[in-house]
A and B are shown apart, each in its own frame.
Chain A
Amino acid sequence: MPSKTPGQAPGKAIIAIVIAVLVLLALLVPPLGGDYYVHLLALVFTNVILAASLRPSLTCGQLNIGHSGFMSIGAYTSALLAKHFGLPFELSLLSGAIVAALVGVVIGYPALRLRGVYFAMVTVAFVEVIRLIAQIWVPLTRGMSGLSGVPKPNLLGITLTTKASQYYLALGLMLLILAILYKLERSRLGLIWRSIGMADPLAQSLGVNIAAHKLLAFMIGCFFAGVAGAFYAHFIRFLFPPEFGFLMATNILVYNYVGGRGHFVGAIVGAMFLSLLSEPFRGSAYETIFFSIAMLLTILFLPGGLITLPGKLAGLRSWRAASAPSPSPAG
């Protein structure tokens, strides 16, 4: 990657325009699209939050296959607090996120000392344990009957009754969280996360307290997974333990890999692309097959994820352009 200072200014402007256009389009969905698209896209936005919030620990090199467990904790905490104690949405959402983050610290403190696949195994066990607790603790969660009657979200005392208003809430939450996570990733903290992911003994020898930083990254991810869960609870208004199982956790991971882990945009692209394309199969057995095929195709043909596709295509084109005229002078 040679230095390319002149190319950078227009690059930034283009990115700003693309973001503005996308946000504008997103704002126009409720008045122009039907209720179906409003509902679908609000769920896509929660998936984007989940995928992006996995990045801090992925960047540290931690394979977390239990993210939906933290979503579940956020969802149940917020739903129960709002339903039984009448907590306003802002507070119940925050409580859900904080509880998810605290559980993240409790799980992460011992588990993050494990490396590679051992850590991943702990997170898999965790997500199943959370699912089982939600199923078995019937007096609190209603178990497999599902927790129904979760209040609609409200803001500053005003209940958001329409799907459109809830959609805007989801959009706002997503944009806010993406901005925070992006800022973090570009900060000194993000540099440290990358250093741990690339070569943790080296980072350690430079004086990075890798255990503390892994835990912090993990906790930040759990917090935002809790936010996504809390929104989901008040949006769907019905919580069913298997929804937050292992399958959901792997999906969040697959969003990141298919989108591409090399850049922040990868998580967003992956979550949008896969949750929209998998929509026809949602809830059926084909959903798993779809995600498996998407993952396999990525590993085989686009190891860097969808975000590397434009570069690959450009490379292909220049390779063709270079190889096409070369025979003519020879002949």
Chain B
Amino acid sequence: MLDVKDLRVRYGAVEAVKGVSFSVSAGSIVSLIGANGAGKTTSLRALTGLVRPSSGEVRFETASLLGRAPHEIVGLGIAHVPEGRRLFPKMTVLENLKMGAYRARRQKDIASTLGMIYEHFPILKERGRQVAGSLSGGEQQMLAIARALMSRPKLLLLDEPSMGLSPIMTAEIGKIIRQINDRDVSIILVEQNAMLALTLAQYGYVLETGSLVMQGNAQELLRDEGVKKAYLGI
């Protein structure tokens, strides 16, 4: 479904991503793990056109994504939940969700998607008129994910969904990610929490300072001595 070949991104003189290749097959969860500064976030940002790669190839289904503007890429069916500021803090929950359906033209489609979202996230229906900035950390993360789903993506890019959340909330988000995947949405999960990432994913890639150092079945990576030491703290 998605094929990334030899992706390179540089910020000025620094090369943040040094020739990374990975692929996602339809219906699967793939995770990119690695420490801070490994190039995970930058790779995602390159996929959705938020930064321009210096070289490489990115294919999504039949289309090449390189050189396309972010709004075109969203139109192809890729949604991105970025790290950092994920919400419009002064907008209500409902307005945030509507922003997610920005590409949908028909009100009817928006209403039916909203209905589906509320089934998954009843709390968001309850909080519809509340300002997004007043939600708890976990609720904000749910809203960010829900908003990405509003565009009815085929591929969802999640950047550090567990960041700053309590273990209970992290488990909750993990459950939600699985539910989304059950609805035939493929997912790329970028995480520092390698345990969470590898238990959810079928396949994993390990990045270190901009390069791919290891890849494999998520179960195998979980058992790998090197991964255990470096990322799982066992």
> Does B174 have its Cβ within 8 Å of any Cβ on chain A?
no
Q: How far is the CA of A236 from the CA of B173 in the complex (A)?
A: 64
Contact string against B for A residues 177-195, beta-carbon threshold 8 Å, 1 for contact and 0 otherwise? 0000000000010011011
| CB–CB A199/B70 < 8 A | no
> Does B135 have its Cβ within 8 Å of any Cβ on chain A?
no
7 pairs, A vs B, C-beta closer than 8 Å: A1-B134, A2-B129, A3-B128, A195-B99, A201-B50, A202-B87, A207-B73
Q: Which of B69, B82, B91, B147 contacts A201 (CB 8 A)?
A: B82
Instruction: Tell me whether A202 and B85 are in contact in the complex, defined as CB-CB below 8 angstroms, given that A191-B95, A207-B75, A208-B102 are known contacts.
Output: yes
Q: How far is the CA of A192 from the CA of B102 in the complex (A)?
A: 8
Interface set of B (CB-CB < 8 Å, partner A): 48, 50, 69-71, 73-75, 80, 82, 85-92, 95, 98-100, 102-103, 128-131, 134, 147, 151
Q: How far is the CA of A195 from the CA of B100 in the complex (A)?
A: 11
Q: Which residues of A contact B74 (CB under 8 A)?
A: 205-207
Q: How far is the CA of A209 from the CA of B74 in the complex (A)?
A: 11
The majority secondary structure among interface residues of chain B is loop
The majority secondary structure among interface residues of chain A is helix
Find the A residue at minimum CB distance from B134: A1
Q: Which residues of B contact A205 (CB under 8 A)?
A: 48, 50, 70, 74, 80, 82
> Does A204 have its Cβ within 8 Å of any Cβ on chain B?
yes
CB distance from B133 to the nearest CB of A (A): 10
Find the B residue at minimum CB distance from A196: B88
CB distance from B83 to the nearest CB of A (A): 11
Q: Which 7 residue pairs are nearest across A and B when measured between Cβ atoms?
A: A207-B74, A3-B129, A207-B71, A209-B71, A198-B88, A205-B80, A204-B70
Number of A residues whose C-beta is below 8 Å from B? Answer: 19
Q: Which residues of B contact A208 (CB under 8 A)?
A: 71, 99, 102
Q: Which residues of A contact B102 (CB under 8 A)?
A: 192, 206-208
Known: A202-B88, A206-B74, A207-B75. 5 other contacts (CB 8 A): A191-B91, A202-B86, A205-B70, A205-B80, A208-B102
Contact string against B for A residues 196-233, beta-carbon threshold 8 Å, 1 for contact and 0 otherwise? 00110111111111000000000000000000000000
Q: Which residues of A contact B80 (CB under 8 A)?
A: 205
Find the A residue at minimum CB distance from B131: A1
Instruction: Tell me whether A1 and B129 are in contact in the complex, defined as CB-CB below 8 angstroms, given that A198-B91, A201-B50, A207-B151 are known contacts.
Output: yes
Interface centre among A192, A198, A202 (most CB of B within 10 A): A202
CB distance from A256 to the nearest CB of B (A): 17
CB distance from B203 to the nearest CB of A (A): 25
Q: Which of B50, B70, B99, B147 contacts A191 (CB 8 A)?
A: B99
| CB–CB A191/B82 < 8 A | no
CB distance from B82 to the nearest CB of A (A): 5
Interface centre among A204, A205, A209 (most CB of B within 10 A): A205
Q: Which residues of A contact B130 (CB under 8 A)?
A: 1-3
Q: Which residues of A contact B86 (CB under 8 A)?
A: 202
Q: Which residues of B contact A188 (CB under 8 A)?
A: 98
CB distance from B200 to the nearest CB of A (A): 22
Q: How far is the CA of A45 from the CA of B71 in the complex (A)?
A: 39
CB distance from B5 to the nearest CB of A (A): 23
Q: How far is the CA of A188 from the CA of B71 in the complex (A)?
A: 16
Find the A residue at minimum CB distance from B159: A205
Instruction: Tell me whether A204 and B50 are in contact in the complex, defined as CB-CB below 8 angstroms, given that A1-B129, A3-B129, A194-B88 are known contacts.
Output: yes
Find the A residue at minimum CB distance from B103: A207
Interface centre among A2, A199, A201, A208 (most CB of B within 10 A): A199
Q: How far is the CA of A206 from the CA of B72 in the complex (A)?
A: 10
| CB–CB B91/A202 < 8 A | no
Q: How far is the CA of A267 from the CA of B128 in the complex (A)?
A: 28
Q: Which residues of A contact B91 (CB under 8 A)?
A: 191, 194-195, 198
